[in-house]
Amino acid sequence: MAEIKGFKNKKLLYDTPQKADFDNSEFPIHRPQISKKIIARPTANICYMRERNISMLKNELILKNPLRRMGYESDDILNKGEFGAVMARAGVGKTAFLVQLALNSMLREKKVLHISLNDPVKKVSLWYKEVFSRITTHYHILQGAQLWEKVLPHRFIMTFRVEGFSVPKLEERLTDLIEQDIFKPDAMIIDGVPFGDPIHQDLADLKNLAAQQGMQVWFAIRTHRHEEPGPNGTPSQLINVADLFEVVIQLVPVGKHIQIKAFKGPGSSGDQPDLMLDPATMLIQDQT
């Protein structure tokens, strides 16, 4: 039988290297390089996280949440029908902070309605995915994908244009969702409300709605460097509506870190824990 030059050792392609492979200079055979390191890796460290129950992982993440140290009565921080706010300048981490609050609720199987007036659904969704992925990496959780599948149904994103957002419209949408048994939120996050405009009446209506539906509501409030704060250091955006908020948390850049301070509410008096938002990962961390 005639022999084709260069292919005489074809059957050896996936075997161990043979001298004949290298002798064939005209048609050199390139073998896939199998790293011996991978094969020789010890298996002792791979084990046990995979067998851990998803609910145990959830509990672990809940217990490790640094916000528990802020001294609030419950993990929710707010009670039903109450308002909370996260204040910071642009780009400091309001959304990242709120997403972590939302993820903490979702892990405890509470439903979160995230309303954004700035970003499309895709971007908000990406925020959640990114923050969750960083949390699982930070706490060395290998079953992140499975856990994500479990918490995802507890979130609903709604986006509006700023000019198109109103409380009656929100109420209409919410009623649709609840009546059709699609989604009944326990918490609501509203990002992008322009607090510069006179909105006391709108917020009061929203508070009534929140009380009716038994929801807690978190807002992101953007402050500005050039605006003079009011009495007690209250930012100008909050002066007229401060009475509606039970809890206010402030994110203050200090050097290279972002400090988390309770401005109003149970954690604001006395010694506050040294919590910060890590600028690299945007995760809430305990400095002690």
Partner 1 sequence: MKVVVETPTEFQGAVMSTLNQRRAMIVGSQDEGPFSEIEAQVPLSEMFGYSTDLRSVTKGQAQFTMEFLTYRQVPQTITDELAKKSAADKKNVA
Helices 144-151 & 121-138 angle (0-180, nearest 10): 140
Q: Is residue 98 involved in binding partner 1 (CB under 8 A)?
A: no
Rounded least distance, CB 181 to partner 1, Å: 7
Nearer to partner 1, 9 or 125 (CB): 125
Rounded least distance, CB 185 to partner 1, Å: 13
CA atoms within 13 A on the CB side of 232: 7
Rounded least distance, CB 136 to partner 1, Å: 18
Q: What angle do CA 79, 85, 91 make, to 5 degrees?
A: 145
Name every residue whose Cβ is closer than 8 Å to that of residue 6 and which is 6 or more positions away in sequence.
Answer: 24, 26, 27
Pairing verdict, β 216-223 and 187-191: parallel
Nearer to partner 1, 174 or 241 (CB): 174
Max Cα separation, the chain?
99
Q: Determine the Cα–Cα distance for residues 102 and 95; give it in Å rounded to an integer.
A: 10
Rounded least distance, CB 174 to partner 1, Å: 11
Nearer to partner 1, 26 or 179 (CB): 179
Give 206: exposed, middle or buried? Use CB within 10 Å, 0-12, 13-18, 19+: buried
Rounded least distance, CB 211 to partner 1, Å: 24
Task: Note the Cα 96 to chain centre separation in Å.
Answer: 6
Residue among 68, 69, 173, 184 that touches partner 1 (CB under 8 A): 173
Nearer to partner 1, 182 or 280 (CB): 182
Size of the site for partner 1 (CB under 8 A): 22
Nearer to partner 1, 137 or 175 (CB): 175
What does DSSP assign to residue 117? S
Q: How many residues does the chain have?
A: 288
Return the residues of window 108-147 that contact partner 1 according to CB under 8 A. Answer: 114, 120-121, 124-125
Task: Note the Cα 256 to chain centre separation in Å.
Answer: 22
Return the residues of window 180-209 that contact partner 1 according to CB under 8 A. Answer: 180-183
Interacting stretch for partner 1, rule CB under 8 A, among 18-26, 132-140, 160-168, 223-231?
Answer: 160-168
Task: Note the Cα 271 to chain centre separation in Å.
Answer: 27
Interacting stretch for partner 1, rule CB under 8 A, among 58-66, 104-112, 158-166, 212-220?
Answer: 158-166
Q: Which residues bind partner 1 (CB under 8 A)?
A: 114, 120-121, 124-125, 149, 152-153, 156-161, 164, 173, 176-177, 180-183
